[in-house]
């Protein structure tokens, strides 16, 4: 198919006022998957309606869960999911296509591991290039089988095993997808399954599982489940996605005169590393805690355009808490005084595209000096950056790259073209409308 090019023009006014963002993608996936695994009918609301979440819905439906979620006027999905509980998932009659969604594919592997079924798991061009051995390795230790064995990429066939062994796994990287896949498999193993991590990754699974009746315990860099347990239906109202909010917040920091509030977003410490980074850069930004959804903290984030931002260093133990925001933070860093360094960002190469290479390429188009050295990303800020006219950015069909480069056009002085801008449908389908709505 020919690439679609979208011209993004500068916003005519600063961003002002309060807004909300669509439901959190990570929590939406988990709400659907955990509800599909549970006994009974769960009630969900605020679920993100996006291509990635639709992949999770399709996959659990093919495995026998009954999903009855409808689009609400605010664009979210709400309704019920009836799970398979003790009966387990049914043998699907076709390959399970996870589309562009790494979370769907990796969590699915853990979810089906304890059941006597054989599933073929596949995805789109990007997903079939992403690493899967990190998930396959611990699941094989637990007793699941794969064909071909220990292969890195999809498509792959997984053969579940009802006698899974619990394990203690020292994860080689901080990855919530890896941690979750092992914990989901561990729910049906007899005994304690534990994942230790080199740095803390997002903890939505550990926080949500008790709401579905499972015993978990979690502390700094470690999480465990006690099996076997049958999950029980629950109720989840998904808070807004801080990773989507990050684009609006960074836009306000790059568009003079802006002042906005993003309401009702997840304020999980494992997700708002970008706020902490912006604070350290000197941004006028404030977080207001407003209670919890289940065990998930939520609230508002307020930000005002700040004339002088300073570069800073983001150490490797904090990278997981900003991992999805590094593209847009890199763009903010390009406008700041001094140098910004993100330490040990090799995982950026393993996302929907090679984001490390794409960031350096995109900033290069802007005339900003950015480079990689020993897996660290360096950006030399250029305050007063003027966008050259006639720029075209390739999103590499990666939603977060598409939105990052769109902000160059929206918040700058000249329009830009974005190749395959349409990939924003993966996490924030109304991204443009949302920004245009704030710039009235």
Nearer to ligand S3P, 317 or 382 (CB): 317
17, 46, 47, 134, 309 from 8: Cα distances, Å = 22, 29, 28, 38, 25
Instruction: Say how many Å lie between the first and final Cα of the chain, rounded.
Output: 36
In which element (H, E) is residue 437 found?
A: helix 431-438
Residue found by looking up tokens 């605010």 in the block: 74
d(CA 404, CA 336): 16
Q: Does 176 bind ligand S3P (CB under 6 A)?
A: yes
Q: Please state the closest distance from residue 197 (CB atom) to ligand S3P, in A.
A: 10
Catalytic choice (237, 324, 394, 420): 324
Residue 149: CB atoms within 10 Å: 9
CA distances from 162 to 41, 60, 88, 224 (A): 24, 19, 10, 19
For ligand S3P, the closer CB: 96 or 323:
323
Residue closer to ligand S3P (CB basis): 82 or 427: 427
Of 79-87, 144-152, 172-180, 217-225, the window that binds ligand S3P (rule: CB under 6 A) is 172-180
Which of 82, 126, 175, 434 contacts ligand S3P by CB under 6 A?
A: 175
Subset of residues 334 to 363 that bind ligand S3P, contact rule: CB under 6 A: 347
* Bond before 224 cis per omega within 30 degrees: no
* Helix boundaries (H) for 7-143: 25-37, 51-62, 102-112, 133-142
Using the rule CB under 6 A, is 177 a contact of ligand S3P? yes
Paired with 295 in beta bridges are: none
Cα(92)–Cα(96) distance, integer angstroms: 8
Cis peptide leading into residue 99 (ω within 30°): no
Annotated catalytic, 324? yes
Looking at residues 298 to 337 of the shown chain, list those that interact with ligand S3P (rule: CB under 6 A).
323-324
Instruction: Give the count of residues interacting with ligand S3P (CB under 6 A).
Output: 12
x/- letters, 117..146, toward ligand S3P (CB under 6 A): ------------------------------
Is residue 103 involved in binding ligand S3P (CB under 6 A)?
yes
193 near ligand S3P, judged by CB under 6 A: no
In the complex with ligand S3P, which residue's Cβ is closer, 368 or 424?
Answer: 424
Question: Which is closer to ligand S3P, CB of 11 or CB of 331?
Answer: 331
- Closest contact distance (angstroms) between CB of 305 and ligand S3P is 28
The interface mask with ligand S3P, positions 3-42, x = CB under 6 A, is -----------------------x--x-------------
CB of 25 to ligand S3P, least distance (A): 7
Measured N-to-C along each axis, helices 326-335 and 399-411 cross at an angle, to the nearest 10 degrees, of: 30
d(CA 177, CA 154): 16
**Binding site residues, ligand S3P, CB under 6 A:** 26, 29, 103, 175-177, 180, 201-202, 323-324, 347
Which active-site residues does the annotation give? 324
């Amino acid at each position: 198919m020919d690439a679609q090019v979208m011209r993004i023009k500068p916003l005519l006014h600063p961003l002002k006022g309060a807004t909300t963002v669509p439901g959190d993608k990570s929590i939406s996936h988990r709400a659907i998957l955990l509800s599909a695994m549970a006994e009974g009918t769960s009630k969900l609301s605020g679920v993100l309606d996006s291509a990635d979440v639709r992949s999770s819905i399709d996959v659990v439906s093919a495995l026998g869960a009954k999903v009855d979620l409808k689009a609400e006027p605010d664009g979210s999905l709400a309704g019920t999911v009836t799970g398979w509980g003790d009966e387990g998932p049914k043998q699907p009659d076709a390959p399970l296509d996870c589309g562009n969604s790494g979370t769907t594919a990796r969590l699915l592997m853990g979810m089906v591991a304890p059941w006597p079924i054989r599933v073929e798991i596949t995805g789109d061009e990007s997903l079939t290039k992403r690493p899967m051995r990190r998930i396959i390795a611990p699941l094989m230790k637990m007793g699941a089988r794969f064909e071909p064995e220990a292969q890195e990429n999809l498509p792959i066939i997984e053969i579940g095993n009802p006698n899974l062994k619990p394990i203690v796994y020292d994860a080689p990287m901080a990855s919530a997808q890896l941690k979750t896949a092992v914990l989901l498999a561990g729910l049906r193993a007899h005994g304690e399954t534990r994942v230790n991590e080199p740095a803390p990754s997002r903890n939505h699974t550990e926080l949500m599982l008790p709401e579905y009746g499972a015993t978990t315990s979690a502390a700094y860099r470690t999480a465990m489940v006690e099996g076997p347990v049958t999950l029980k239906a629950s109720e989840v109202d998904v808070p807004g996605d801080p990773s989507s909010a990050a684009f609006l917040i960074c836009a306000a920091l790059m568009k003079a005169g802006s002042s906005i509030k993003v309401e009702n977003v997840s304020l999980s410490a494992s997700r708002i590393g970008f706020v902490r980074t912006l604070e350290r850069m000197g941004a006028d930004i404030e977080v207001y805690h407003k209670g919890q959804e289940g065990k998930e903290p939520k609230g508002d984030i307020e930000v005002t355009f700040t004339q002088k931002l300073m570069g800073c260093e983001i150490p490797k133990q904090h990278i997981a808490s900003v991992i999805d925001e590094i593209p847009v933070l890199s763009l903010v860093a390009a406008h700041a005084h001094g140098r910004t360094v993100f330490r040990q960002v090799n995982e950026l190469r393993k996302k929907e595209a090679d984001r490390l290479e794409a960031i350096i390429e995109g900033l290069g188009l802007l005339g900003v000096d950015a480079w990689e050295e020993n897996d660290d990303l360096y950006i030399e800020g250029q305050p007063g950056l003027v966008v050259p006219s006639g720029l075209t950015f390739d999103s590499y069909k990666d939603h977060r790259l598409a939105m990052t480069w769109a902000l160059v056009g929206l918040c700058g002085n000249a329009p830009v073209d974005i190749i395959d801008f349409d990939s924003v449908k993966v996490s924030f389908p109304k991204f443009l409308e949302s920004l245009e709505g704030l710039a009235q």
